[in-house]
Amino acid sequence: MTLPLRITLFAASLLTFSYMTVKIRDSKMRLEDSLFWFCFSALLLLNSIFPHVFFWLSNLVGTMAPSNFVFLFFIFILLIVCFRLSVRLSQLDTKIRELTQQLAIENLERHNRDENRKNRG
């Protein structure tokens, strides 16, 4: 791995870490959601400081080149993130539907109560 690439990875990891810290401090992002990005930043940092780790892992897994292993690894990570987001989106969709139904029932009950008061009075 070339020195300019290692410096770029190191800078990217520091920028990712600092950006996530600012977002958490400003309450724009939950700590649980930023955990993935902190781990991603740590992996970039590890790769920039110790690039031979990915060469070793590439040999261990049996990929032809370390770049193939890196692509495979990060595609796998992104699939996990995509799955997590899909699950969370489904949960939020269900919650919105339940809240909408509850609000509609409360509005109907309020409307019926008002109609009963009008009919009595």
How many of the other CB atoms lie within 10 Å of CB of 17? 18
Q: Is the dihedral of CA 90, 93, 97, 102 positive or negative?
A: positive
Judged against a pLDDT cut of 80, whether residue 1 lies above it is answered with no
What value, to the nearest 5°, has the Cα angle with vertex 63 and ends 65 and 61? 130
pLDDT for 34 equals: 83
52-109 pLDDT, tens digit each: 888 898 899 998 888 888 889 889 988 998 999 999 999 999 999 999 999 999 999 9
pLDDT for 121 equals: 64
One-letter amino acid at 15 equals: L
Write out the two tokens for 78.
């992104």
Spatial contact of 42 and 13, defined as CB atoms under 8 Å apart: yes
Cα–Cα distance list, 35 to 5, 22, 84, 110, 116 (Å): 25, 14, 13, 44, 54
pLDDT for 119 equals: 84
